[in-house]
Structure 1
Amino acid sequence: MNELLQFLNIAIRSRLDFELGKNKTLEKPQMDLHLNKEASLGKFIFEHNIKNQDLLLLILALVPHIDPGFFNRIIQDYFPKGGEFPEFGGVKAKHHRGIIPTGETALYILAGNDPETRKKYFPLFHQSKLFQKGILYLDECDRNEPLWSTALLMDNEYAELFTTEHINKPKLSNNFPAQLISTDLEWEDIVLNSKTLNQIQEIEEWLKHEQTLLHDWGMKNRLKPGYRVMFFGVPGTGKTLTASLLGKYTNKDVYRIDLSLVTSKYIGETEKNLSSLFDKAANKDWILFFDEADAIFGKRTNVRDAHDKYANQEVSYLLQRIENHPGLVILASNFKSNIDAAFTRRFQSIIEFPMPVAAERLVLWEKNIPPKAALAEGLDLNILAKKYELSGANIVNVIQFASLKALAKEQQVLEHEDLLAGIKKELVKEGKMVN
């Protein structure tokens, strides 16, 4: 880290010495950097071949996180009496008392005050791999501000990784409307028909081989980024568990989107919330799981008033963001017909999670009976499986109900009447007739 700070220090002082007339020629920093490839920052720079302008931009954005007074000390050396130095750029933050570099700061270090040279570097803020991957970005610019006057910032997760060697997973909040989900179960614990399992395997294959297909096989320019999937089926048939297992077996974080924190009655707020979510998720290798997606991805309506107009704009905006998202997006719905056709046409896969048939229900009953529990004499799970059409979640709830009743009786036997009472509860909850 010290070597990189020294590299930036020399680059800034060389530029200042030249622009202020102390040196007639610009001395570019000549340093043979010996990076610690075991540390996250050194490993990242080495593996991604970060050098020259990209290296300068990376360290420039990282400095406020590790040395708040870095820029102030340099400026004070050259302007001990203070005064304005607009060419250097930089902004102040609400809490951070040092200088936060801006796009103008980067341009000054790279090109000084020469307009033509500065102009050559303008595309860097779009073409740099650090910007394309969302690792660095310029803060939002007000309409009355110059383009490059906003803060040059580093994604918080990369800043945390480079400074602490680990990343805390983002937590559900108003600023991040998604929750990390996981499971301790395995693929063999989920009971699905062969057609559904085969389609899920296709997703797993894409997650494992996407980069090879796009880059090694040269399909990057022929295929749209990302993969879009729809899961549909009644609640409790394994949609959320499947998403969790896909993440578990491909070492990817799965975030379930809380649509109550995304949608807003105020015009433009829903798009803003989703934009923030997709921006944060870009290049993070996450799986985004929109549960009960009908609420926000539903069919567009005929425009009768302003509300319909903006609701349709939200759907169109979502379509655009999902289509351009480079990762896996899963939309879950109870019914396929609830989702706007504009979305379904763009899905690579539409997977039905049907209610389990009797044979599958029997397996679910057998898999979920607690290992320490016994069945009452004469209790036949095969009869329960054939007679009662329940989802996997329903069956787990019934077993939980009967198990608690057994524990309350200080016994380890699941009674027939308790299982029937649990089944009745589930059927009533689903609005079904009870025999």
Structure 2
Amino acid sequence: MKDLLEFKYLEEYLQYRLESYFNGKSNTIEPEIPAYSKWFIHVPEVIKQANLNKSEKTLLLLTLCPQIDGSLLDRVIQDKLASTGDFPQIGGVRGKNFRGFLPTGETALFLLAGKKFEKRLEVYNYFASNHFFGHNQLLWLEDAPEGEPIMSGKLVMSPEYVEMFLLGEISKPTFSMKFPAQLIETEMEWEDLVLNAETSAQIQELKAWTLHGDVLLYDWGMHKKLKPGYRVLLHGPSGTGKTLTASLLGKYTGKDVYKIDLSMVVSKFIGETEKNLANLLSKAEKTEGILFFDEADALFGKRTNVRDAHDKYANQEVSYLLQRIENYTGLVILSSNLKSNIDDAFVRRFQAIIHFPFPSFSERLEIWKKAFPKKVRLDKQVDLSQLAQKYELVGAEIMNIVQYACLRALADQKKTIISRYLIDGIQREFKKGGRIMR
């Protein structure tokens, strides 16, 4: 730890406090904390700009210490306790897997305040929800066992901030019960997305907010008048390009897009849906990613008339979801086949509601023309204009048909797409949807 000046300071400061406690006035001078520029760990810009005082910086280092050097605190404390015996005032606990010293709120009180009551109140304030640490979900006190003092809880630092301090960046969250969302990407381009003029224009507005929203809110001062984040509803039949639109928005704005697995968010047990959503949004906010709720009716559907306690709770759940989504600072995209399925309270709070209608003849024809790979050619008898006119299909269905036709050609060792392949593919899509092909 010799090269890590910030933790060398922490070690010297702990020695200084122990010496002062056991021997009264210490002969050593209170060590000074080094400037951020001399810290070895990566210090995020938000922390540099927070104007933290010495005690707050020391608390930050104390909480991070077990992640950097698991033996430092044990080494200093045990060396002193070898001659003095047990010393409960310094707090600390042992973990389940980690057997070293884990600092608690009591450790922070001893190190930063000693017996001075006013200083101890100041340390308590560091764990308040409105303090910089709590507001940014940087560090906090774990709940103490029932009936025990609050400050006996462990000091905990957000895993995302631990990564930031150690690696200089936050790794992308992986799919799990705590983060039930898949990163979705696409190799397609904007020109591959076929939409009508009105829908396209509204999508460009979304793109503008994603690129320039922070400038509008903070550089132009609109954060005082506008709520954070941006909420949009995409509605229309399945296969009309809603998911592709979300993927392209992420691709062209440099944002990760996370598609939420609603089956892992919605729970039949009281309180679990809110808990799952809170965990998801808390983690997602640190990624600054775009959240995409596909088939959002399951989570944001209409409230019902109250007939029993279950209906009352379900309505409270929708109200909570509304409030939580409103406070999300990034872009939230809800997708639904029918706008009427979404609760009116959500609809009123969307900044944009974008309709993805069933593609017209000209749009279907354009999709057909763009759908085929460059390495194949179409047989002379294939009339894409006739197919677009005769068969009402959405973009996703057309892509399924083209995929089927290409596989048929490959199986027949051909590079030509014949009419039969396409007609068979269309028939398959009609059967899937329970429609009769004429």
Give the TM-score normalised by structure 2.
0.92
Change (3 A) 1:359 1:173: same
Whichever residue aligns with residue 369 of structure 1, its letter is: F
Structure-2 residue corresponding to 1:376: 379
**Partner amino acid for 2:115?**
N
Look up the match of 1:72: 74
1:308 and 2:311 aligned? yes
Q: Is the 8 A contact 2:44 2:164 kept in 1?
A: no
**Alignment partner of 1:396 out of 393, 396, 399:** 399
SS of corresponding position for 2:115: coil
1:199–1:351 contact (8 Å) kept in structure 2: yes
Mapped pair 1:362 → 2:357 = no
Question: Quick check: 2:144–2:154 contact (8 Å CA) kept in 1?
Answer: no
- Asked if 1 retains the 8 angstrom alpha-carbon contact of 2:36 and 2:43, the reply is no
Identity of aligned residues (%): 50
Q: Contact (CA 8 Å) 1:237, 1:393: kept in 2 or not?
A: yes
Give 1:135's aligned residue. 138
Give 5+ residue unaligned stretches, structure 2: none
Following the alignment from structure 1 to structure 2, what is the Cα–Cα distance between the partners of residues 430 and 25? Answer: 84
1:19–1:362: structure 2 CA closer, same or farther, 3 Å change rule? same
Find the aligned partners of 1:141 and 1:282 in 2 and give their Cα distance. 27
Q: Is the 8 A contact 2:142 2:156 kept in 1?
A: yes
- Alpha-carbon spacing, 1:58–1:34, altered in 2? closer, same or farther (3 Å): closer
Alignment-derived partner of residue 170 in structure 1: 173
CA distance in structure 2 between the partners assigned to 1:328 and 1:147 by the alignment: 37
By how many angstroms is 1:8 displaced?
A: 1.6
Q: What is the identity, as a one-letter code, of the residue corresponding to 1:232?
A: H
Distance of 1:5 and 1:385 partners within structure 2:
69
1:96 equivalent among 58, 74, 98 = 98
Counterpart of 2:294, as a letter, is D
Paired with 1:249 and 1:357, the residues of 2 have a C-alpha distance of 26
User: Counterpart of 2:208?
Assistant: 205
Is the 8 Å Cα contact of residues 290 and 330 (structure 1) preserved in structure 2? yes
Aligned to 1:87: 89
* 1:368-415 deviation per Cα after TM superposition (whole angstroms, max 9, x unaligned): 111111111121111111221111111110000000001110001111
Q: Secondary structure at the match of 1:345?
A: helix
Q: Aligned runs of 1:284-299 on 2, under 5 Å? A: 284-299=287-302
Contact 2:5 2:34 (8 Å CA) reproduced: no
CA deviations on 1:156-184 (whole Å, 9 max, x unpaired) are: 23323433455442221222211111111
The number of aligned residues is 435
- How far apart, in 1, do the equivalents of 2:15 and 2:41 lie? 27
SS where residue 82 of structure 2 aligns? coil
Unmatched 5+ stretches in structure 1? none
Q: Say which of 117, 120, 140 aligns to 1:118.
A: 120
Distance 1:162 1:120 in 2: 25
The structural deviation recorded for 1:419 is 0.6
SS in 2 for 1:122: helix
In 1, Cα distance between equivalents of 2:375 and 2:327: 50
Partner of 1:152 in structure 2? 155
What is the identity, as a one-letter code, of the residue corresponding to 2:217?
L
- Find the counterpart in structure 2 of residue 7 from structure 1: 9
C-alpha spacing 1:133/1:94, structure 2 compared with 1 (3 Å): same
1:357 partner letter: S
Residues 91 and 104 of structure 2 are in contact (CA less than 8 Å); yes or no, is this contact kept in structure 1? Answer: yes
CA distance in 2, matches of 1:342, 1:395: 36
Tell me the SS of whatever aligns to 2:393: coil
User: When the two structures are superposed, what TM-score results if normalisation uses the length of structure 1?
Assistant: 0.92
CA RMSD of aligned residues (A): 2.4
Report the equivalent of 1:106: 108
